[in-house]
Amino acid sequence: MLYPEHAYLPLLWMLREFMLQNNALLQKLKQNLRDTTPSVEGLVKGTDKSFGFLEVDASTSYFIPPPQMRRVMHGDKVRAYVRTENGRDSVEPFELVAPALERFIARVQKREGKLAVVPDHHAIRTQVSCRIAAEAKCQQADLQEGDWVVARLLSHPLPEKKNFFFGEVVQKIASAEDPFAPWSVILARHQLPHQAPDLQDLPLPSLEELAVGRTDLIHLPFVTIDSASTLDMDDALYIEAKADGGWKLQVAIADPTAYIPYGTPLDQEAQQRCFSLYLPAREIPMLPEALSHDLCSLRAQQVRPALVCQLELNTQGAIEQHTFQLALVQSQAKLAYDQVSDWLENTGSWQPETPELAALLHTLNDFAQARLQWRTHNALVYPDRPDYRFVLDPQGQVTEIKAEYRRQANRLVEEAMIAANQCAASTLAAAQSTGVFNTHTGFAEEQLQQAKTLLVAHGLYDAQMPAETLNTLEGFLQVRRALAQHPQGVWLEQRLRKLQNYAEIRAQADTHLSMGLPAYATWTSPIRKYGDMLNHRLLKQSLGLAESDLVIDEALLAQLNERRRLNAMAERDVRDWLYARYLSQPEQLACKRPAEILDISRGGLRVRLQDIGATAFMPASLIHPNRDEIVANLEEGTLLVQGQVQYRLGDTLEVQLQEVREETRSIIARPFA
């Protein structure tokens, strides 16, 4: 029997109320269950399988099952419920604390016409469905499989209660087959400029205007000594031997602040960049090339404005006095490091063009040797390490990697620059009480006691001395010199380095312990470093030749430190990519190579290939077949196999490459058998 529709309404209302009440009860029950379920917070660590782990701290991690792993990504910081089943703990992430990715570099994947990207990260293989961003200067049709893009994550499965990641493509960087992708991709990753700035219609003063208030030193035969290909020449040198012994050295430094007033748009652009960026086979100047490569560069036979430091040194290489002055100079010759070194070392065919130039180079060499001896006894000098230069063909492929060692001409220029920078530091500290100072304050405060314990255990420090003495100039010098004589000094130095602060740029003078100097302020590379431009302006203030409106605040110091870090990371990343590209060639995989152990962990060894400078990882599984018989003693910096010390930090060994993958820039090595 059918009833009228309105007759069912009371029943429907009762059913609705029952469902609502039970839904509320159900929600309350679920909430109570959540409240009583233990939870943890940690970082998601992906694996090459479908599962992962949640690392809570250095000693605690939990298994993330595949269904849960699909809702998170390597590097996500999450909160998760801990579940126990069959005696095994696992976790179920329920809250995203911080995503691993926001803006990221990725490669395009297309499946059935749908756009997706995979982040460029060795531990992330998660696919992110994408759309094209409104500001992107490309269309979906412009993107092909494997192209490089900048992407932005818009939604994450965890807070959105979805089962997929979603983002948008912001910019196309390079095509999949572009041989120059390493440079473009890495610059985009770190959001660094791709080219030199524009001159911005800057009104340039004439040489006559620049000459006002400057001493005319054009008659002095200054010379520049740089790499043969260098265009941005910051420094030129002139020296005379004093009749009573010692030397009078003049260090002329290019003066870009003569062209760029403080606070102008071009000055602000230089402040934003902070440094010229030097990548393998590519330079991105801080200043417009019209200035850095021409008007400011101390080119041979060209009159240039300069800031000049005149130093008087005794026969032991100690600086007795110094002065600064604005001047006009003219380099008489552009000399190359290798040619001058060949001549000083009595090799090669190059000869100075005149007897006067030969005498100047001999005098500079005498000064440099005395100065090096002074620093050896009064500061710190470290063993030379080679630089590695990539040789590329026109298609951007690496044909060779050359180890380039410091030679006599390099040391000659280096000693002159270090001495001049010491003079700048003392002048700024005395006259301005502020500046851009390079500092290194030694051991981190929280690591001081550990450093002392390690040094005492190896007879390198008096147990009765307070740990704080290690961070004094005298204490640090004493330890460094003792390390140089210790039979285990190499690996001890590696361990102690991990306990030290990073070098830092500060506005007040402080010690630079790793150089063994009471203060240090660079001003000798103003074409390449904004901090050096600032010190030029401050030195001019000390001479009464500049306005005093210059402000060095915490924001500026943070920018200098951060940009230095980013530039170093960019250079490292491009190098790692080129190393992987070069070493993936079959003939390179077969080579036996000498290597130095840089780091020891539970997973294996990180080593530097000494012939080319690349860093490789040697997993424990390739060191010994039984992983349970390998123990990493992180405190001692050793790796034990079957209870015996097999490897130690700083040791050298012979290795062979096991696998090289350019797509992840990973180089895997094994002991050479």
The per-residue DSSP string of 243-287 comes to: TTSSEEEEEEEE-GGGTS-TTSHHHHHHHHH-B-EEETTEEE-SS
Rounded Cα distance, 535 and 530, in Å? 9
Give the model confidence (pLDDT) of 267-277 as tens digits. Answer: 999 999 999 99
| Statement to judge: residues 434 and 449 lie in one domain | no
| Statement to judge: residues 368 and 348 lie in one domain | yes
Q: State CA 521 to chain mean position distance.
A: 20
pLDDT of residue 17: 56
CB 419 within 8 A of CB 319: yes
Spot the catalytic one: 76, 147, 234, 255: 234
Residue 212 lies in a domain: yes
Tell me whether strands 282-284 and 235-241 are parallel, antiparallel or unpaired: unpaired
CA dihedral sign of residues 424, 428, 430, 434 = negative
Range of the domain at 294: 207-439+514-574
User: Which amino acid makes up residue 85?
Assistant: E
| Statement to judge: residues 398 and 482 lie in one domain | no
Place of tokens 């004093």: 242
CB 524 within 8 A of CB 450: no
Number of Cβ within 10 Å of residue 629's Cβ equals 12
Catalytic status, residue 244 = no
Q: Where are the alpha helices (DSSP H) in 171-211?
A: 181-189, 207-211
pLDDT of residue 487: 87
Instruction: Name residues of the chain where pLDDT drops below 70.
Output: 1-36, 547-548
| Statement to judge: residues 401 and 456 lie in one domain | no
User: Which amino acid makes up residue 124?
Assistant: I
Q: What is the DSSP letter of 467?
A: G
Estimate the share of the chain in helix, then strand, then coil, as percent rounded to the nearest 5: 35, 30, 35
| Statement to judge: residues 398 and 453 lie in one domain | no
Residue 616 lies in a domain: yes
Residue-wise burial string across 245-281, b where 16 or more C-beta atoms lie within 10 A, e elsewhere: ebbebbbbbbbbbbbbebeeebbebbbebbbbbebbe
Contacts (Cβ under 8 Å, ≥6 apart) of 162: 155
| Statement to judge: residues 283 and 365 lie in one domain | yes
Q: Where are the alpha helices (DSSP H) in 379-433?
A: 408-431
| Statement to judge: residues 396 and 297 lie in one domain | yes
CB 416 within 8 A of CB 250: no
Residue 200 lies in a domain: no
Coil/strand/helix, residue 154:
strand
pLDDT of residue 312: 98
Residue 20 lies in a domain: yes
Spot the catalytic one: 76, 120, 147, 235: 235
User: Which amino acid makes up residue 475?
Assistant: G
Question: CATH no. for residue 159?
Answer: 2.40.50.640
Q: Six-digit token pair at 225?
A: 């000594």
| Statement to judge: residues 31 and 133 lie in one domain | no
Q: Six-digit token pair at 368?
A: 């440099």
The pTM of the full predicted model, rounded to 2 decimals, is 0.89
Catalytic status, residue 532 = no
Tell me whether strands 88-98 and 114-119 are parallel, antiparallel or unpaired: unpaired
Tell me whether strands 39-46 and 88-98 are parallel, antiparallel or unpaired: unpaired
Residue 121: name the closest of 166, 76, 91 by CA. 76
| Statement to judge: residues 406 and 550 lie in one domain | yes
Rounded Cα distance, 160 and 653, in Å? 51
| Statement to judge: residues 260 and 128 lie in one domain | no
Q: Decide which of 547, 574, 601 is a domain's last residue.
A: 574
Rounded Cα distance, 7 and 12, in Å? 10
Q: How many CA atoms lie within 13 A of 509 on its CB side?
A: 20
Residue 606 lies in a domain: yes
Question: CATH no. for residue 663?
Answer: 2.40.50.140
Residue 98 lies in a domain: no
Spot the catalytic one: 226, 267, 342, 573: 226
Q: Decide which of 475, 501, 527 is a domain's last residue.
A: 501
Coil/strand/helix, residue 550:
coil
| Statement to judge: residues 537 and 470 lie in one domain | no
Catalytic status, residue 226 = yes
Spot the catalytic one: 62, 238, 337, 582: 337
Residue 92 lies in a domain: no
Catalytic status, residue 337 = yes
Q: Six-digit token pair at 660?
A: 């090289």
Rounded Cα distance, 518 and 425, in Å? 9
Spot the catalytic one: 76, 232, 532, 651: 232
Q: Domain total for the chain?
A: 5
Q: Which residues pair with 39 in a beta bridge?
A: 81
Catalytic status, residue 234 = yes
Catalytic status, residue 235 = yes
| Statement to judge: residues 481 and 411 lie in one domain | no
- Edge-to-edge strand list for the sheet holding 630-633: 630-633, 638-641, 644-648
pLDDT of residue 378: 97
Q: Six-digit token pair at 392?
A: 């590329």
Rounded Cα distance, 569 and 615, in Å? 14
Residue 216 lies in a domain: yes
Residue 441: name the closest of 502, 523, 378, 520 by CA. 502
Q: Decide which of 574, 600, 615 is a domain's last residue.
A: 574
Report helix angle 408-431 to 355-378, nearest 10. Answer: 60
Q: State CA 232 to chain mean position distance.
A: 22
Rounded Cα distance, 371 and 99, in Å? 53
Q: What backbone torsions phi and psi does residue 561 show, to the nearest 5 degrees? A: -65, -40
Place of tokens 């991709």: 185
CB 116 within 8 A of CB 109: yes
Spot the catalytic one: 528, 537, 563, 564: 528
Number of Cβ within 10 Å of residue 363's Cβ equals 16
Place of tokens 């002065």: 323
First to last CA, the chain: 92
Alpha-carbon Rg for the chain in angstroms: 31
